[in-house]
Amino acid sequence: MLRAIPWRYFDFWLLGAVVLATAFGTTMIRSAVAGNEVLLPLINRQIYFAFAGLVLIFVVAAIDYRFWLAIYRPMFLVIVAFLVTLTGFGQTAFGAQRWFQVGVLFLQPTEFAKIVSILVLARYFDAAQHRPRDLQWVGGAIAWASVIIILILLQPNLSNVVVLTVILMSMLWFNGMQMKHIMLFGILALILVASFVALSVAGIRIPFLQAYQQERIVNFLLPDPDATFGATYNVQQALIAIGSGGLFGAGYGYGTQTQLRFLKVRHTDFIFSAISEEFGLVGALFVILVIVLIIWRCLRTAQLARDVAGMSIAYGVATLIFFQGMVNIGVNLNIVPVSGLPLPFISYGGSGLTSLMLGIGLVESVAMRYKPLDF
């Protein structure tokens, strides 16, 4: 059976880029938490997760991705069950319920829910590939996705709702959604977002949202010029960190913003700022390049995939990595409101890293089974 696994099509470029990004991320986390005894164990924890993740890539790659499509119903039910329980029993951190404590591990089902959503949607698009691209076809995809989206919205976790929506949109796009439907939903979304922003700026509470989420949007749109230590403090410190890095950076372990802890949550949300400070423009471009490389390998796999499911999985994972990465960097550069999305493969976070590794494993699985015309 093992001999049947087509390892020769395993994408080592993709694996290499992922290993590079993870190794670089771990190194940067070490610099970011230096001097903070409470955060020191995070380095080793991230290393364990990284190695476990690499093993996971090979395990998932070895399994034909169609196996997951076959068991999509129990998988979907399990993740829904987790998300439902989470709203009741999860640990509350920073106002939103996102974690399950299992022993020493804090599990974030939301991270895994993204992968499950990609799989479930891939199964749907595969099954419905010959149907006309009418509203019913669109509605089917939305129906599957919205179960998970609504549960995450109830946590409430606005950023991941947006991530899932973007993944859904991207998969709809690649599967041939009609332009007129795109326009229709685009206008609907615009109205929704506009009213959301208007209400937030006006200071009216919106159900299912935390006050801080609305505040963040207001702060982004209308920054208070006097609020040095207020809500804009973190972003301001991030800009100082990035800007002071210059072309080549202060050097590993020598960034004053990072080492003297002026930069907050520097091992997760603002790790890109820490990198930019210590490695400068060169380091920042390197990180972007590695992420682009990963995305490019995923897109390439999508184009080579032998079926619609494989293609959809690869496009979904590529969208996930691209969107999270760019939003995170955008937050660091103050061109996107503060969201709390991690930088893929680089930010600290076990669940996030593991779920991304799962996604890469799935893409590898697709890549290995594309069956080129090799005679």
Partner 1 sequence: MNSNLTNRYQVAPWRVVVVYGVMFAIIGLIVSRLISLQVITGDTWKDQAIDNYTLTISDPAPRGIILDRNGYILARNVASYNVVITPADLPDDDADVQRVYRELADLTGVPAGGPVTEETLNFAKLFSPCVPGPTIADMVALGASLAPYTPVKIACNVNEKLARIIGEKTVDLPGVAIEIEPVRDYPTGSLTANVVGFLGPIPAALQEVYEARGFVTNRDKVGYAGVEASLDDILTGKNGLRVVQRDVAGAILRNLEPPIPSTPGKNVVLTLDSRLQKAAEAALLDEIDYWNNRYFGYIRISSGVVIAMNPKTGEILAMVTYPTYENNRMARFIPGYYYEQLSQDPRRPLVNNAISAELAPGSVYKLTTATGAFNEGVIKLGQIVKTPGKLTLCERFSPNDPCTEANSRPFVDWIYERNGVINEAGFGALDFYRCIAYSSNVCFYKLGGGFEDEIPEGLGIFRLGEYARALGYGARSGIQLPGEEDGLVPSPQWKRINTGENWSTGDTYIASVGQGYVLGTPLQVLMSGAVIANRGKLMQPTIVREVQDDEGRVIPLWFDPETFSLYEEQQVEDRNGQFRTMWVNPVNPSDARLSPPEGSYQISPFTPTMKWDITRDPLINEWSCEAGYCDQTGQVKTVAPETVEAVRTGTRMAVTENPSGTLYRVFNVDYPLPIAIAGKTGTAEYCDDVARQANRCQFGAWPTHAWTLAYAPYDDPEIIVVAFAYNGGEGGTVAAPIVARVLQAYFELKSIDIAQGGGG
Give the residues lining the site for partner 1 (CB under 8 A): 129-130, 170, 173-176, 237, 239-247, 256-257, 260-262, 276, 280-281, 284-285, 288, 292, 295, 299, 303, 306-308, 311, 322, 326, 329-330, 333, 335, 371
Spatial distance between the Cα atoms of 302 and 286, rounded to a whole number of angstroms: 24
Spatial distance between the Cα atoms of 175 and 121, rounded to a whole number of angstroms: 11
Residue 211 vs residues 88, 156, 228, 284, 332: alpha-carbon distances, Å: 20, 11, 20, 33, 22
The minimum distance between CB 345 and partner 1, in angstroms, equals 17
The minimum distance between CB 234 and partner 1, in angstroms, equals 12
The minimum distance between CB 29 and partner 1, in angstroms, equals 18
Residues contacting 354, CB < 8 A, separation 6+:
49, 52, 53, 56, 111, 112
The minimum distance between CB 255 and partner 1, in angstroms, equals 8
In this structure, the number of other CB atoms found within 10 A of the CB of residue 127 comes to: 14
Residue whose tokens read 């006050």: 211
Nearer to partner 1, 32 or 96 (CB): 32
The minimum distance between CB 341 and partner 1, in angstroms, equals 15
Nearer to partner 1, 144 or 174 (CB): 174
Nearer to partner 1, 15 or 242 (CB): 242
The minimum distance between CB 280 and partner 1, in angstroms, equals 6
Residue from 288, 310, 290, 292 nearest 301 by CA: 310
Nearer to partner 1, 175 or 213 (CB): 175
Beta-strand relationship, 105-107 and 96-102: antiparallel
281 alpha carbon, distance to own chain's centre: 23
Nearer to partner 1, 76 or 322 (CB): 322
The minimum distance between CB 206 and partner 1, in angstroms, equals 28
Nearer to partner 1, 73 or 306 (CB): 306
The minimum distance between CB 326 and partner 1, in angstroms, equals 5
Residue whose tokens read 């949007």: 217
Residues contacting 197, CB < 8 A, separation 6+:
217, 221
Spatial distance between the Cα atoms of 139 and 133, rounded to a whole number of angstroms: 10
Residue 161 vs residues 117, 126, 150: alpha-carbon distances, Å: 12, 24, 8
The minimum distance between CB 26 and partner 1, in angstroms, equals 23
Spatial distance between the Cα atoms of 322 and 328, rounded to a whole number of angstroms: 10
Residue 347 is which amino acid?
A: S
Nearer to partner 1, 245 or 361 (CB): 245
What is residue 162's three-state secondary structure? helix
Residue whose tokens read 């380091």: 283
Nearer to partner 1, 12 or 35 (CB): 35
Nearer to partner 1, 92 or 303 (CB): 303
